[in-house]
Structure 1
Amino acid sequence: MTITQPDLSVFETLESEVRSYCRGWPTVFDRAQGSRMYDEDGHEYLDFFAGAGSLNYGHNNPVLKRALIDYIERDGVTHGLDMSTTAKRAFLETFQNVILRPRDLPYKVMFPGPTGTNAVESALKLARKVKGRESIVSFTNAFHGMSLGSLAVTGNAFKRAGAGIPLVHGTPMPFDNYLDGQTPDFIWFERLLEDQGSGLNQPAAVIVETVQGEGGINVARAEWLRKLADVCERWDMLLIVDDIQMGCGRTGAFFSFEEAGITPDIVTVSKSISGYGLPMSLCMFKPELDVWEPGEHNGTFRGNNPAFVTAAAALETYWTDGPAMEKQTRARGEQVEQALASIADENRADIKEFRGRGLVWGMEFLDKDRASAVAKRAFELGLLIETSGPEGEVVKLLPALTITPDELDEGLRTLARAVRETA
């Protein structure tokens, strides 16, 4: 692909140095549809990024777009704080009927603010309020958000350093297979809990991702998650599952913890819950944990009514027949797995391993700089992929759940070429 130098002057002179994704994709995007993005010069890019998992149903999904346009054209409420609106009622009823009841999940729903870190902050605050304790246990290589409470339970040293102050009241424990299977699961954690001399304050809760996205696509086994739930129950700790990136069907089932057969005490959801890329997040919890006083946790943009509209449309369109959506995602995932196995086989000296579930996959390189080089070459070839892992050593694949088999094959062939051409 031949790319003329775009005019980036206003971004470089006016926008903060904190910008990141645009540095890896140095063009000016203009429009998008489905799994394709187009820059202002008309160059086409196949999107294996999907808004960091916020666009599970693709860009400008026509069904969701129609629902949103109709709502706006009839002057539906846009800003509603936590007022009762027809859009919120429609979402809550749909969410209850399509998602919660069929899974026998009793959760109350809280709208804490528009982003994932808002949901995490409210979950941590609620756990501490319920248990009357401060300490929260998280896991190595976890990522839970960029606000201070979320950073305190995030593992990445670079992101933690940005806080500028000590991040306290969080204790990291080894994630599944962090010690390469050399010790039994949770032996360290439980030893600390039972030893009065360990220095570990009794935790209020444990927060976990079933698949660590930013941490490098580290997949927790169902057995490990079940053991974690058991530890939490025996030691009177709440279990919080952060399903912000891996929920809404990313791993197959609507919630990523369903495969393990567990029912977390608290669940956070964001990113693709609106379906259209509109800001929206949920903090869900068992009814007995609903000890909030009115207004004790609030936020100006917690009631994003246009997001309620597209969220309800997404649930009705894709999850009324949930097994069909799950089956499709798993089939696409098998397609990715086969392609990555072939790439790894051709590059045995360079690739450490590949791993994933559903439609989230990662390919880890032995040379930690190689993943960035592959992502850069992929962009030049018209494919958008990002990297993850503590040192950016993993190429991360996060295509839309609605991507076609042909589009998926096209992107995987481009990825294979990018790997070959950066050897």
Structure 2
Amino acid sequence: MTITPPALSVFEALESEVRSYCRGWPAVFDRAQGSHMYDEDGHTYLDFFAGAGSLNYGHNNPVLKRALIDYIERDGVTHGLDMSTTAKRAFLESFQNNILRPRDLPYKVMFPGPTGTNAVEAALKLARKVKGRESIVSFTNAFHGMSLGSLAVTGNAFKRAGAGIPLVHGTPMPFDNYFDGTVEDFLWFERLLEDQGSGLNKPAAVIVETVQGEGGINVARPEWLRALAELCERQDMLLIVDDIQMGCGRTGAFFSFEEAGITPDIVTVSKSISGYGMPMSLTLLKPELDIWEPGEHNGTFRGNNPAFVTAAATLDTYWADGQMEKQTLARGEQVEQALRAICEEQSGTHFRGRGLVWGIEFEDKPRASAVCKRAFELGLLVETSGPESEVVKLLPALTISPEDLDEGLRTLARAVRETA
């Protein structure tokens, strides 16, 4: 289809230059439903972005919308700080019954604030408080958020530079397959821990993504994650899994670390936990780590009750019977087959992923951005990731129909061919 760039004068005149997504998708969006977005000129776009993973169940999911409307219409509490409310109770009971108890997970639930970086900051702060140490180990190409503590454990040089001050108390280590299998897993990390002359301060914790989304869809092997968990236990370090983008079913299981059979000490969850795209985040912690003093960590918007309502409805609707995971894995096989065909046809491309998070890496790095631009012109929303924006990243809704998924994959294949 032909896209005529809209008049963006008010955005250009008043909005900061920091805006980004709107530059790649020059449209004024007006409505959204399921896996589609519509601009004010009537163009339709198939969404393989899903709010950067915040809309795992699609736009304006009708079941969740009904629960939200009913709650608002009866004047349910909207803003509640950390007060006890019926909405919070319903969410906690649903989370315990549908998620924690079936997986035999012992976690206490902390509401640290509305965003993912709030959850990460709380996790880092708690780990330091528990262990009495400052250092946190993260991994190459990690992304954990834009506030200062989260940036200190983020790898991207462009994002880190925006801090404007030194980012301290974080130490990067090689992520899985960083050396293409030529170096034994954790050789460098363990050597530094054991060498009294290494200069590495004893870490309080290690923070890791099981699949690095912003880092380029780098997938950690289950055996690598298990070895990391064992290393943390041997060396008296807490293991924090950042499941902000890869949790809530994105990789198949509700938590992305389930495949590896590990139980992290702390887990951060956000993005799709509300199910509806509303701000909400959790920091999950083992009970013995819950040494907070009342009010020691707080935030004005940590009790977003409408988000609790849609979150509970999401868990009761999609996670009570185990079918969501099976459907996601089936859709993932559909994506994998399509990407394999694209990469077999196009030299200089590689694909990787799990569940319904996938990426195509281009050896000709600028081509990834060109593919995303052409895809937009063809009515498909996809973004880039990776340290040099060399990966086209696919994050369709978990509820996408096989037909819409196939249509989007055909459009992607066309965009790749037409930018060769």
Smaller-chain TM-score range? over 0.9
- Structure 2, unmatched stretches of 5+, are none
Structure 2 partner of 1:217? 217
Are 2:397 and 1:400 equivalent residues in the alignment? yes
Are 2:414 and 1:422 equivalent residues in the alignment? no
How far apart are 1:4 and its partner, in Å?
A: 2.5
* 1:104-136 deviations in Å (ceiling 9; x for gaps): 000000000000000000000000000000000
Distance 1:187 1:402 in 2: 41
Structure 1 partner of 2:136? 136
Structure 2 partner of 1:266? 266
* 1:291-318 deviations in Å (ceiling 9; x for gaps): 0000000000000000000000000000
- Misfit runs of 4+, over 4 Å: none
Distance 2:100 2:213 in 1: 25
1:15-414 to structure 2, matched below 5 A, reads 15-322=15-322, 324-348=323-347, 350-351=348-349, 353-414=350-411
State the AA in 2 paired with 1:11: F
How far apart are 1:235 and its partner, in Å?
A: 0.1
How far apart are 1:7 and its partner, in Å?
A: 1.4
How far apart are 1:5 and its partner, in Å?
A: 2.9
Aligned to 1:89, the other structure's residue is in SS state: helix
Percent identity for Structure 1 against Structure 2: 89
TM-score in terms of structure 1 length: 0.99
Distance 2:163 2:179 in 1: 28
Distance 1:7 1:277 in 2: 27
Aligned to 1:121, the other structure's residue is in SS state: helix
How far apart are 1:184 and its partner, in Å?
A: 0.6
**How many pairs align?**
420
Distance 2:157 2:277 in 1: 28
TM-score in terms of structure 2 length: 1.00
Distance 1:405 1:270 in 2: 26
State the AA in 2 paired with 1:397: L
* 1:67-96 deviations in Å (ceiling 9; x for gaps): 000000000000000000000000000000
Aligned to 2:312, the other structure's residue is in SS state: helix
Distance 1:46 1:321 in 2: 28
Distance 2:351 2:181 in 1: 18
Distance 1:285 1:27 in 2: 41
How far apart are 1:2 and its partner, in Å?
A: 1.7
CA RMSD of the aligned region, Å? Answer: 0.4
Distance 1:155 1:410 in 2: 35
Distance 1:3 1:320 in 2: 42
Aligned to 1:402, the other structure's residue is in SS state: coil
Aligned to 1:342, the other structure's residue is in SS state: helix
How far apart are 1:139 and its partner, in Å?
A: 0.1
* 1:219-251 deviations in Å (ceiling 9; x for gaps): 000000000000000000000000000000000
State the AA in 2 paired with 1:107: Y
Distance 1:386 1:226 in 2: 31
* 1:330-388 deviations in Å (ceiling 9; x for gaps): 0000000000000001102x31x100000000000011100000000000000000000
* 1:181-206 deviations in Å (ceiling 9; x for gaps): 01110000000000000000000000
